[in-house]
Structure 1
Amino acid sequence: MKRTLTAALMFMAGTAAAGPVSFADWQEQRLSLFGSNDYTFGQTLQMMSDGSVSIAWGRVPQADWGARTASWTWDVSEGVPPTDLSVKGGDDRNLAVYFVFVPQAVAADLASADIRALLGRDDVRVLQYAYGGSNPVGAVLPSPYGTPGTGVTIPLRQAGTGSHSESVDLSSDYARAFGGQPGALIGLAVSGDSDDTKSTIRAAVGGLSLN
């Protein structure tokens, strides 16, 4: 156990400083062979989606593996219509911010995995906060994708446009969604999803901070 924890603490899963998150080193993961979103990576993440879907993701540095709160701003100038975020294949949303947790004992082994590999594992837990949909704000919606019980969507804003600041308690939301306490936060992601409604998204995320 001591050796495992020491290895985990020594591992650096990225180059960003603890606290504020830069998107400069993030990557895109396509979810379809026929289209993807357009991202601009820097201190903010800008996204354009035209009837498409994909995920932009980054690894969390070791200094932030124990983060239990997060804050950010997101802005939507064009967005998708209201949808039901609990329905597979009908759950378009303007933006979603993902927090990817794994058991501390395997954090060092998984910290270099890409987002597709992480989202396919039974021991990974994902909190996904959404700007979009018609579901009640604050509801905990089981993800219709992947292994049941491994991911949830929590709407923070329903479908619409505008700029908003968010602050979330990851520990509290994790307990509501999965029970118990979160493990190591090794991954972050942002997605936009407009493929089902064939609509358009123009949006950005910035000021993402972990504590």
Structure 2
Amino acid sequence: MAKKFGPALTMIVGALMLTGCASTSRQTIDPSKLAAVSDGNCKAFAAKSRPMDANSGVVPDSLELANLASESAADAEGGADVDSEPTPPPALSQLPPFSASNMASPMPVGWRPWKINRNKTPTRYALTEVDHRLVLHAEADSSASGLYVPLVEREAGALRWMWKTRDVIRTADNGVSHREDSPLRIFVAFDGDRSTLPLRDQLMYEMARITTGREMPYATLMYIWGGRLPPGAVVNNPHTDRVRMIIVDSGTRHTGEWRCHERDLRADYRKAFGADPGKVIAVGLMTDTDNTKTSAESWYGDITIE
């Protein structure tokens, strides 16, 4: 399952460029294509969130965490890249919280690094303590890369997270390929029956498989902090409609403060794709500024999926 998600954007862009299908036209948002708007209230979020400890079943047990920590340290030392992994990493039953990691570790436990493109500068990620909690710090400087966790196939349920950014990317436009950047993104990858897709998409998937030796996710839902469109707007990725973005925060009103979100993955998938979702197979995150050649500084708190 990990192979399906890690290089997803690489394959999408690469395959579409090879077939000449990449688009630079700006999408007009239909008012009917608006997803529910998150509350963003961290007090309400804290009251709903379950305790994150090994006994609750929200995180892997202590032995599994120890093994994952060892793997994460080896990845950081060896400069692991999902494009060169000889075997896929194990799929987990839950997302390891950043708060359960050790600050001495270069990477958060259980999260795997992945690159958009070997020629792109990677975004810097590191654990840090902010407001008395251990979180993930992201710094992008004309760069793009992310972290991901392959998951045991599961039904689409609730996704919860908290994040913060210093500022928006003022020249970004998520509907235009050469300006498509965001200070904060969370991805959810879904499985599905590719034989039901239009011929154009099936050819794109086959081109990706031949070119990279890996399969793309059937569909990817992405939550982002936008700079122009309103919260709730659903935006097609400018390279492929198999990736849909939902803007959950937008503009500068809440920059510099923690924002907390809870999303119904099934409802959001239906709103974005107009169909019921398949099984969730991975979750990832990314802070990127490679298209706009700007910089961004952001923070991710724990992410949970139920």
TM range (shorter): 0.7 to 0.9
Q: Deviations over 1:176-200 (max 9, x none)?
A: 1112221110111111111232222
User: How far is 1:85 from its partner?
Assistant: 0.7
> Residues of 1 paired with 2:237 and 2:90: CA distance?
26
8 Å Cα contact 1:26-1:41 kept in structure 2: no
Q: Deviations over 1:132-176 (max 9, x none)?
A: 22112111111112xx33110111111432220011111111111
Match of 1:201 in 2: 296
> Residues of 2 paired with 1:193 and 1:19: CA distance?
22
> Residues of 2 paired with 1:125 and 1:34: CA distance?
24
1:38 maps onto 2:38 in alignment: no
8 Å Cα contact 2:156-2:277 kept in structure 1: no
Letter in 2 for 1:29: W
Q: Deviations over 1:31-74 (max 9, x none)?
A: 23141101126963321101111122111235xx1141111000
**In the superposition, relative to structure 1, how do residues 20 and 141 fare at CA in structure 2: closer, same or farther (>3 Å)?**
same
> Residues of 2 paired with 1:170 and 1:144: CA distance?
22
SS at match of 1:60: strand
> Residues of 1 paired with 2:158 and 2:114: CA distance?
25
- Greater per-residue strand proportion: 1
1:172 maps onto 2:267 in alignment: yes
1:25 maps onto 2:102 in alignment: no
- The structure 2 residue matched to 1:154, chosen from 212, 227, 246, is 246
User: How far is 1:130 from its partner?
Assistant: 0.4
SS at match of 2:271: helix
1:14 maps onto 2:91 in alignment: yes
8 Å Cα contact 2:96-2:110 kept in structure 1: no
Q: Deviations over 1:2-32 (max 9, x none)?
A: xxxxxxxxxx9534x5476455222222223
8 Å Cα contact 1:79-1:200 kept in structure 2: no
**In the superposition, relative to structure 1, how do residues 157 and 58 fare at CA in structure 2: closer, same or farther (>3 Å)?**
same
Q: Which has the higher contact order (CA 8 A, sep 6+)?
A: 1
8 Å Cα contact 1:29-1:55 kept in structure 2: yes
- Give the structure with higher Rg (CA): 2
Match of 1:73 in 2: 162
> Residues of 2 paired with 1:204 and 1:118: CA distance?
30
> Residues of 2 paired with 1:195 and 1:181: CA distance?
33
> Residues of 2 paired with 1:168 and 1:204: CA distance?
19
Match of 2:174 in 1: 85
**In the superposition, relative to structure 1, how do residues 28 and 41 fare at CA in structure 2: closer, same or farther (>3 Å)?**
farther
RMSD: 2.8
TM-score by length of 1: 0.76
TM-score by length of 2: 0.54
Match of 2:148 in 1: 57
**In the superposition, relative to structure 1, how do residues 117 and 139 fare at CA in structure 2: closer, same or farther (>3 Å)?**
farther
User: How far is 1:206 from its partner?
Assistant: 1.4
Unaligned runs of 5+ in 2: 1-88, 99-107, 129-133, 195-212
Give the share of equivalent positions with the same residue, in percent: 23
Q: Deviations over 1:64-89 (max 9, x none)?
A: x1141111000112442152211111
Unaligned runs of 5+ in 1: 1-11, 106-115
8 Å Cα contact 1:82-1:159 kept in structure 2: no
8 Å Cα contact 1:91-1:196 kept in structure 2: yes
8 Å Cα contact 1:100-1:187 kept in structure 2: yes
